[in-house]
Structure 1
């Protein structure tokens, strides 16, 4: 099976990032994670970051840099991790995709439960270097 491309958008505001709890319409609901979504055909990774932020939480964001690559634990997706600034705007979650959203520090993210192992690795190993 061919791997699909997806982005993980680490949305930053001050010293916090946006954590979202997966909603009822997505696979594996209930997990906390940064914003994420598939890259659509003909779309750049930066465009996917901007679109997913608008669709899932109603924020206009400015993509920063690609900072990591990983894959989902079922190996179906290659994940391209991007930082993006979300300095203004109110979070308005799409209730199908996002059950809950909150601005947290990286340390607070690691205390959320449940989270995916790959996300935990990012916040323990990659984020401190950024």
Structure 2
């Protein structure tokens, strides 16, 4: 099986980041997670971060740095984790992909249910060291 490439955008605003609940049109709806999406052919990771965020929640962001790499629990995707700044603008969720969106602290994220184990690992182990 060929692993697809995807980005995870950890969108920062003050001491919070944007968590979304997966919408009805995507696999495994209802899970809370940072924004994510597939990298299109010929697209850089940085371009994918900007495009996915704009498509899913209507924000214009500035990618900052790639901070981690992981795999999805089913092994189908290699995830490239990026921090990005969303200085202004209102979140306008794309209803098929995003059921709900909230600016949360990492501690609040860990209380959401359900979340993916890899996302939990990022907020418990990786983010505190950044």
The within-5 A match list for 1:28-47 is 28-47=28-47
Aligned to 2:60: 60
Moved over 6 A (4+): none
Match for residue 94 of structure 1?
Answer: 94
Deviations 1:49-95 (A, max 9, x none): 00000000000000000000000000000000000000100000000
SS in 1 for 2:103: strand
Quote the Cα distance in structure 1 between the aligned partners of 2:51 and 2:89. 15
TM-score by length of 2: 1.00
SS of the equivalent of 1:88 reads coil
The CA RMSD measured in Å over matched residues stands at 0.3
Consecutive unaligned residues of structure 2, counting only runs of 5 or more, are none
* Structure 1: segments with no counterpart, 5+ residues: none
User: May I ask how many residue pairs the two structures share in their alignment?
Assistant: 130
Structure-2 residue corresponding to 1:48? 48
* Alignment match, 2:107: 107
Secondary structure of the residue aligned to 1:66 is strand
Q: CA deviation at 1:128?
A: 0.3
